[in-house]
Structure 1
Amino acid sequence: MATAVSAIKNVRKSSDFAASVAPGVLLCVAVTAAAWLLERGEAALFGKAWLEALVLAIVIGTIVRSLWTPAARWRPGIAFSAKYLLEVAVVLLGASVSAATILHAGPVLLGGIALIVAVTILFGFTVGRLLGLPTRMALLVACGNAICGNSAIAAVAPVIDADSDDVAAAIAFTAVLGVGVVLGLPLLGMALGMNAIAYGAFAGLTVYAVPQVIAATAPIGSAAVQMGTLVKLVRVLMLGPVCLVLALVMRRPATDEAATVSLSFGRLVPWFIIGFLVLVACRSFGFVPQAAIEPVGKVATMLTVVSMAALGLGVDIRSVAKAGGRVTAAVMLSLAGLGAISLALVTLLHLR
């Protein structure tokens, strides 16, 4: 009897929770739908979408938030979408990363990529702090530049408990510069006289997102596209270890001996990072069916866009505008440092 009563209470709690988050989640889904429609419109008008749905969702959400302040009934769902849906998306990203594919790059290039990610994060963080950015904001900018732009910022944010205003500002400025990099990098590669392999590696090391790498390397040829995509996937793999290190470094210290003893592994390593690494292992050992990889990737993308819509809906545009100058300078200097270090690695490996 007691078990039945407990089960009924649990059902009621679940029902109450679903009812509390439903309005905000539906609002985020509506913003997401508008972002997808705008992306389709861009593709139809210009032949390609210069701003991805992920960025557009933040922009639309921020505009909505600037014109209208959500009442209390909307907030639980917005908070749920910004945190938990994003964490699920990070887990699902692991299915798109295979250790076997990464090993084809060779140990020297793999080590160089890992070193570049580490050095760029340290450099970007230092630049951000020197420019007066708060610690968490500097980390967001540094990780976004070093790994994979918007996705890295979105994944790192819950690990370091970043403020939604900081997340949106970092993504907004990183997105703008990301478009500029895609447009300008082929010209730089041709000016430097790079061959397809060298340019592909250079683009994979510097461009933010996988689709942007493809767009930036396509003018140079298929060899550049393949090399750029491979290098980019290795950079994406660095997201798990980086988040793990940040989870260890940024955790709050225990205040007494009892708290130290009770500190669980889950507190040290967020569940979604463990899930990400488990899926990477499953993909590497062939436990993830090939037919499931693309659908899982699409679900991860959709959940990420919904969470970005939620972040936009939680942003005060005045806070973003206030941080604009310093954030822009930090992103640009960090990106310039990444480009210089990447070019040095390409030259050192004699890919040019």
Structure 2
Amino acid sequence: MTAEPLNRPATPAAPTSTPTDEMPTGFFRHFHTPRVVFGQDITLRQVVFALFLVFCLTPWASPPVALALGLVLAQTVGNPFTTHTKAFTHKLLQFSVIGLGFGMNAHAAVQAGKEGILFTVVSIFGTLILGYFVGKWMGLGRHVVHLISCGTAICGGSAIAAIGPVLRAKDEEMSVGLGTVFVLNALALFLFPPIGHALAMTQNQFGLWCAIAIHDTSSVVGAAAAYGNQALEVATTVKLARALWIIPVAIGTAMLFKQKGVKITIPYFILGFILAMLFNTFVPAYVPAAAKLGPVMTHLAKIGLTVTLFFIGAGLSAKVVKAVGVKPFVLGIVLWVVISTASLYVILHAA
């Protein structure tokens, strides 16, 4: 096995450009027309992107707001830096998750992990089995079905990016899988907090629900952060423990699909999160000055997460949604609704 980055940008692998690839007509053409400023060619949409990005760095921006700004940008003037945002997104998310570890307590994390382990095992294998039968009934290709099922069961685009090479999936299959979970992942960030408040869920309940029912780590952390610090701690711990299941699922995939000589990614960045959490829990007792590092790193991590979600939203163009097609979306929605409602019921009725 070889180590490769786990969290890749949760955007489709093939044509992920904005809806403004060709020079538009009418009002939006003004945003694409270059103007010379201080000897540099600059377009209005680059200025809009920069203004949105700067806003995401301020205290007024929250993860849902950042994602919404990215979506607005993608559907109107388009993302002028698609290649760059795709390249930065997965690295920025990894660093942000590690930074969140500096604000967490190892003892509480272990307790949260124990509570979530049964949910994790049952939901992962239940989703994979359900996805197989529903996908077969719908007549979808095995690779697409398995990619969407893994993305729903484990950790969204990260799981698909890791499982795809094991399947030797085609670019088109990767694009469909990523596009499906990406759209649903974006919706979850907006839907889950209001549902949690409406049902008067506790911080612990909501954090556990997010980790199980929301696809990607970025939106899990974003939704949980909007709900509260305890929810964030539970959600991040359980989700990262869940992400480790990429390894056994990838090995099982290679065996099931009879693939030999494939590379399996190992999520080493999770080790960074654990080390940061251990540092925050034990080091300040011996080095009091180290206690000042935690709040700073946590603050920077939350800013990084906000920018990550802005980049993700900026990559979701109308073309991406249209390219996915109806059937994969239906499969993704069915799996998402089942895992969300089933886990919600169990969490609310657990003793």
Instruction: State yes or no: 1:274 paired with 2:271.
Output: yes
Cα offset, 1:115, TM superposition: 0.9
SS in 1 for 2:244: helix
Map residues 144-155 of structure 1 onto 2, 5 A cutoff.
153=156
Where does residue 31 of structure 1 map in the other structure?
A: 52
Separation in structure 2 between the aligned mates of residue 277 and residue 79 of structure 1, nearest angstrom:
26
Distance 1:181 1:76, change over 3 A: same
Q: Is the 8 A contact 1:173 1:328 kept in 2?
A: no
Where does residue 336 of structure 1 map in the other structure?
A: 341
Cα offset, 1:65, TM superposition: 2.6
Distance 1:26 1:78, change over 3 A: farther
Q: Is the 8 A contact 1:137 1:167 kept in 2?
A: yes
Cα offset, 1:178, TM superposition: 0.2
Map residues 1-352 of structure 1 onto 2, 5 A cutoff.
30-34=51-55, 40=60, 53-68=62-77, 74-102=81-109, 105=111, 111-132=114-135, 134-143=145-154, 153=156, 159-160=162-163, 163=175, 165-186=179-200, 201-207=204-210, 229=230, 233-250=233-250, 268-286=265-283, 289-320=290-321, 322=325, 324-344=329-349, 346-347=350-351
Separation in structure 2 between the aligned mates of residue 154 and residue 326 of structure 1, nearest angstrom:
16
When the two chains are superposed, the root-mean-square deviation of aligned CA atoms in Å is 4.3
Where does residue 168 of structure 2 map in the other structure?
A: none
Bigger mean CA offset, 318-327 vs 81-90: 318-327
**Residues 22-54 of structure 1: CA distance to partner in whole angstroms, max 9, x if unpaired?**
x999986643445577x94xxxxxxxxxxx732
Q: Is the 8 A contact 1:182 1:212 kept in 2?
A: no
Could you say which structure has the greater relative contact order, defined with CA pairs below 8 angstroms and 6 or more residues apart? 2
Separation in structure 1 between the aligned mates of residue 46 and residue 127 of structure 2, nearest angstrom:
34
1:54 is matched by which residue type in structure 2?
P
Cα offset, 1:184, TM superposition: 2.2
Separation in structure 2 between the aligned mates of residue 280 and residue 157 of structure 1, nearest angstrom:
27
Name the structure where helix makes up a greater proportion of residues: 1
Where does residue 171 of structure 2 map in the other structure?
A: none
Separation in structure 2 between the aligned mates of residue 137 and residue 178 of structure 1, nearest angstrom:
20
Q: Is the 8 A contact 1:140 1:170 kept in 2?
A: no
SS in 2 for 1:315: coil
1:274 is matched by which residue type in structure 2?
L
Ranges in structure 1 where 5+ consecutive residues have no aligned partner: 1-22, 41-51, 144-151, 190-198, 217-224, 348-352
Distance 1:34 1:327, change over 3 A: farther
**Residues 81-139 of structure 1: CA distance to partner in whole angstroms, max 9, x if unpaired?**
22221222222232233222345x5xxx8534221222223334444454437333333
1:94 is matched by which residue type in structure 2?
G
Q: Is the 8 A contact 2:75 2:318 kept in 1?
A: yes
Distance 1:306 1:25, change over 3 A: farther
2:102 is matched by which residue type in structure 1?
A
Where does residue 3 of structure 1 map in the other structure?
A: none
Separation in structure 1 between the aligned mates of residue 113 and residue 91 of structure 2, nearest angstrom:
32
Q: Is the 8 A contact 1:165 1:316 kept in 2?
A: no
Separation in structure 1 between the aligned mates of residue 79 and residue 210 of structure 2, nearest angstrom:
36
Aligned residues: 270
2:278 is matched by which residue type in structure 1?
A
Q: Is the 8 A contact 1:32 1:305 kept in 2?
A: no
TM-score, normalised to structure 2's length?
A: 0.60
Separation in structure 1 between the aligned mates of residue 304 and residue 226 of structure 2, nearest angstrom:
23
Ranges in structure 2 where 5+ consecutive residues have no aligned partner: 1-42, 136-143, 165-173, 212-219
Q: Is the 8 A contact 1:36 1:53 kept in 2?
A: no
SS in 2 for 1:293: helix
Cα offset, 1:201, TM superposition: 4.8
Separation in structure 2 between the aligned mates of residue 201 and residue 300 of structure 1, nearest angstrom:
21
Identity in percent: 14
Q: Is the 8 A contact 2:49 2:79 kept in 1?
A: no
Separation in structure 2 between the aligned mates of residue 317 and residue 95 of structure 1, nearest angstrom:
38
